[in-house]
Structures are given as structure tokens and as C-alpha cells.
Chain A
Amino acid sequence: MADTRPISSQSQSAEEPAKTVPFRGGGFVVKPLGVIAPLVFVVIIALWELGSQTGFISGLVLPSPSESFEAFRQLFDSGLLFVHLSASLQRIVIGWTVGSTLGIIVGLMIGLSSVARAGLAPLVSAIFPIPKIALLPLFIIWFGIGEGSKVATILFGTFFPTVITTYGGVDNVDRNLIRMGQSFGLSWMSIVRKIILPGALPAILSGCRISGSIAIILLVAAEMIGAEFGIGAYILMAGSLFATDQLIAGVAILSVMGLCFAWVIGRAEKYFLNWRT
């Protein structure tokens, strides 16, 4: 007791200026702020409309949102919207589903087997960076000018990134967990199904996010040749006629498709990855 007093009185008597320690631990944490995303869209579209109304943005340069919406309404009223949409959705759903499924299977093979890795991984790395649009003429020769070549473009475009994210995900599964499975005598199939697949699932799902966007990009490219219907064909037609309001309407539909897809993947992540924080 006696010897603590001089210390405390000493530190208090010292005439040093006192201040609180400044906080510097903020930032770098992403919090969900639900209202901001729609707000950004509303503000941008409102400003754009205002610019068009006041003549600040010339109608020749960019049609106003209301004009574009009008074009969309005409499309809707004519009944063609659903024709275009169903043609596009059919291509994208088939192409993406088959491409992703095959991609996951081949990715798992590369992740699990040394032979498959030695044989296939370099091939995948070599073909992945080739823009599939450049191969479109070949696809037309191979699969015909009809649906085949369009679906094939999307299929190939989504296959390769899925392979790469899947085997990356498999590689990142904690080896200790696999060893644990072996030490309890689990079968090979059980280890794959119950340890490796769930462990790789976060990577696979984020791969799906990317391949979904790629599928939409390739859809437009694929519909540029020999497609009567489809959102891409509609945009192309509008572009060649310089009907910019229709063009914007078409692009907006694509963008909404992308948003819907991202939403579905988000739900899937919530559902399958509910064990994460």
C-alpha cells in the first residue's frame, strides 16, 4: 500500500497533457445497408430523366428513361416480350445448367484425381482464355445455325470458369478434415460427398455467380447471328435501326436478368452455407 502511493501521486502530479487514445480501428468492415442499393438506382434514373427533360441530355445522344420505358411497354403490348424472353431464357438455362454441371464434374475430377489433373488441367488453362465468341463460326459449322450453336457458345463459356473455380475449391478443402475422415474409416464416396463437396461449395457457388454473368454476355453474342427471337436479337435489331430507346429497354432487360440470377445465387448461398457466420 505504502509504496503504491508515491507512484500514483507522481503520475498525477506530472504536468503532461492528457488526451484519449484516438480510435483507428474503423473501416474495412462491410455491413449490409439494404436501402442504399435501390436508392442508387432511383437517384441515377431520376437525374437521367431530369437531364433529358431539361434538354441537358440530347435525345439523340441518349433516350430518356421514360422513352425507353415506353419502348418496353410497346414490346410488352405487342406480346413479343415473352417470345424474346422465352427464347433467350431457354438458351441460357440449358447452356448454363449443362455447362456448370459438366464444369463441376470435371472440376471435381481434376481436384480428386492426379491423372485427371495432369491430363486436363493444362488443357482447361489453355482453352479458358479463348473468347468463345471467336469460336462462334466453328460452333455454327458443328452444331448448326439454329439453337445448337447458341446453346453451345453459352455452354462452353460457362464450363471452363466453373471447372477452374471447382478444382480451386477442392484444393482449398482443409486437408485435416479429409485426414479425419480417413482416420474414422469413411469410404471414399463418403469423404467426397460429406467433406470435400461441402467444403468446396462456397467456391463453387461464387463460381456460379461469375459463370451466370458470362452466360448473359455470351447470350447476346450468340443471338447476333441467325436468331429471329431473343433479347440479344432484339437489341441487335434496335441497334441496327438506331432505335436507341428500344436498345436501352433491351439492355435493361438483360440487366434485370442478371440481378434475378444474382438474387437466386444469393438465396442458394444463404440456404446451403447457413453454417457460416
Chain B
Amino acid sequence: MDLHLQKLSHDYGKLAVLRDIELEVRSREIVCIVGPSGCGKSTLLRLVGGLEQPTRGQVMQIGEPPAGCLNPLTYIFQDFALLPWRSVKGNISLVLEDRGLGRGEAEEIITDVLRRTKLSDFADAWPRQLSGGMKQRVAVARALAVKPAVMLMDEPLSALDSQTRELLMDDLVELWLTEGFTAVYVTHNLAEAVRLGHKIVVLSRRPGRVREMVSIDIPLDQRKNHVKELDDKQKLLWSMLRDEAMAADQELLDG
């Protein structure tokens, strides 16, 4: 299943947030979105997943989601959004409960996603007992449980320390290599963008427009051997973002 964002624009009252976003997300592709703070990245993601309605334009779903997909557009949130009153297992079963699956079937899915995210030993732990990195893994497991066609990730690693981030990034790369998921990945960390992105979209300051689109052709599993190229890409991205970020920083929020 592909996504096609067509002339997407959004306003909050008088505040113009997004303007004419045109973007294609192909199956098995990770599209990273970077942009200065407040340019509408999170808003864009909410529009893509149908949590909000765009003022103008539309998000088209092209093709059918793969068989067995329970929730085609699935989010992974920056703050994990785990229910503190449910165990790791309970948090995952939450998203399976309304779907008329048999008990055995749901149980099977839970065991499977816990194994894939290396969480099998933590099935009965409470969220409060987990570190940030583990919480985000639970959120990834929960997302995988509904077999999404596209994962929508809003700064999934931003709440983590840099070592944990590094580890989780490796996990995501590994996951992509084995399963090839599709994702729209919002981040403000350019290193993450060049490590994970097949396509990197640079947004301008608010109102956000697509300023530039950068493709990286190096396969994900070989990126660690191409430090130089990635570094150049990162510098290129920063040179595009720098002016926008500086200008955005100088603006008054309600101006």
C-alpha cells in the first residue's frame, strides 16, 4: 500500500501551519521528515493518519493494505503512550481486543511481537518498571501487533538518551531488513534521518512547505560502511535547515 499526499494544507484558525505538501510514500520505504521546530511536522503526521482533517487537500491510500492488516496506519508516539495500568502484555492486547480475534489468536500475536522486539522476558512488567528505551520497544511491539501497512513515527527516539537511541536505531534497521516495513518518520535529528531514511523531506519554517527532497540510495544495512557519504548528506541537510531554523527561532510564537 502506498500513500499519496495531495496538496495538503492545514490551518489552525488564522495560523497557517502547512501549505501544499505533495509527497509519495512507497511500500517498504522509510520517509523521514525534518524541519525547524513548530513547522507542522506533528500536524502533518496527524493528518496522514486521519487523526485530524486537513483544511485543504487529501491523503490518498493507493492499493489495498496487505492481508491480515488490522490497522493500516499505526502511530508510534514520542511519549510512548503506554497505559500505566496495563502490563506490557496488556498494552499490546489492548489494540487486539476490539477486533474479534480468538483468545488463542491474540495470544499468538502477542508472543510473536514480543519475541520480535526481544521483550519476551518482560511480558508481565508494568510500564513504570521499564526504562525509556524498553517502553518505546513496547510501543513498537504494539504497533507491529496490528500488522500496519504504514507506521507513522513522531520523533520516536527523542525522549531517549543518545546511547539508547543508538541501540534502538539498530533495532529498527534490523527490523526493516527482516520485515521491510513502510514508515513516515518525523525527527529533528539529522543523524537519525540519514541512518534510516530512504527519502528525506526537508520542510520550511511555518507554514511548512516541502523545501527539498533528498534521496539516499545506500542500502540500510550498508550505511555503517559509508560514514563519509552520510556525513556529507547530513551537512547538506543542515545547510538547508540552518537558515529556516534560525528564522523560525527568531519568530514570536503568536506573531
In contact, B79 and A176 (Cβ under 8 angstroms): yes
The residue from B49, B51, B81 contacting A177, defined by CB atoms under 8 A apart: B81
In contact, B49 and A190 (Cβ under 8 angstroms): no
**Bound: A81/B128 CA distance, A:** 48
Residues of chain A contacted by B126 (CB below 8 angstroms): 275
Q: List CB contacts (< 8 Å) of A187-204 with chain B.
A: 187, 190, 194-195, 198-199
Q: List CB contacts (< 8 Å) of B73-108 with chain A.
A: 73-75, 77, 79, 81, 83-86, 94-95, 97-98
**Bound: A184/B94 CA distance, A:** 9
Q: State how many residues of chain A have any CB contact under 8 Å with chain B.
A: 20
How many cross-chain pairs have Cβ atoms below 8 Å apart between A and B? 49
The residue from A176, A185, A186, A195 contacting B77, defined by CB atoms under 8 A apart: A176
B182 at interface by CB-CB < 8 Å: no
B71 at interface by CB-CB < 8 Å: yes
If A275-B84, A275-B126 touch, whether A183 touches B94 (CB-CB below 8 Å) is no
**21 CB < 8 A contacts A-B:** A176-B79, A177-B81, A179-B51, A180-B75, A181-B94, A182-B51, A184-B71, A184-B74, A184-B95, A184-B146, A185-B70, A185-B71, A186-B94, A190-B97, A194-B94, A198-B83, A199-B85, A273-B85, A275-B84, A275-B128, A277-B128
Interface string of A161-187 (1 = CB under 8 A from B): 000000000000000110111111111
Instruction: Summarize A's interface: helix, strand, loop or mixed.
Output: helix
Residues of chain A contacted by B142 (CB below 8 angstroms): 184
Chain B proximity of A162: nearest CB distance (Å): 21
A24 at interface by CB-CB < 8 Å: no
Residues of chain A contacted by B85 (CB below 8 angstroms): 198-199, 273, 275
Interface size class for chain B? 20 to 34
Residues of chain A contacted by B79 (CB below 8 angstroms): 176
Interface string of B155-171 (1 = CB under 8 A from A): 00000000000000000
Residues of chain A contacted by B94 (CB below 8 angstroms): 181, 184, 186, 194
The residue from B73, B75, B95 contacting A186, defined by CB atoms under 8 A apart: B95
A276 at interface by CB-CB < 8 Å: yes
If A184-B146, A275-B128, A277-B128 touch, whether A194 touches B51 (CB-CB below 8 Å) is no
**Bound: A182/B46 CA distance, A:** 11
In contact, A183 and B74 (Cβ under 8 angstroms): yes
In contact, A176 and B95 (Cβ under 8 angstroms): no
Chain A proximity of B51: nearest CB distance (Å): 6
Chain A proximity of B50: nearest CB distance (Å): 8
If A176-B77, A183-B74, A184-B95 touch, whether A276 touches B49 (CB-CB below 8 Å) is no
Residues of chain A contacted by B49 (CB below 8 angstroms): 183
Residues of chain B contacted by A198 (CB below 8 angstroms): 83, 85
Closest 4 CB pairs of A and B: A180-B81, A275-B85, A184-B95, A183-B75
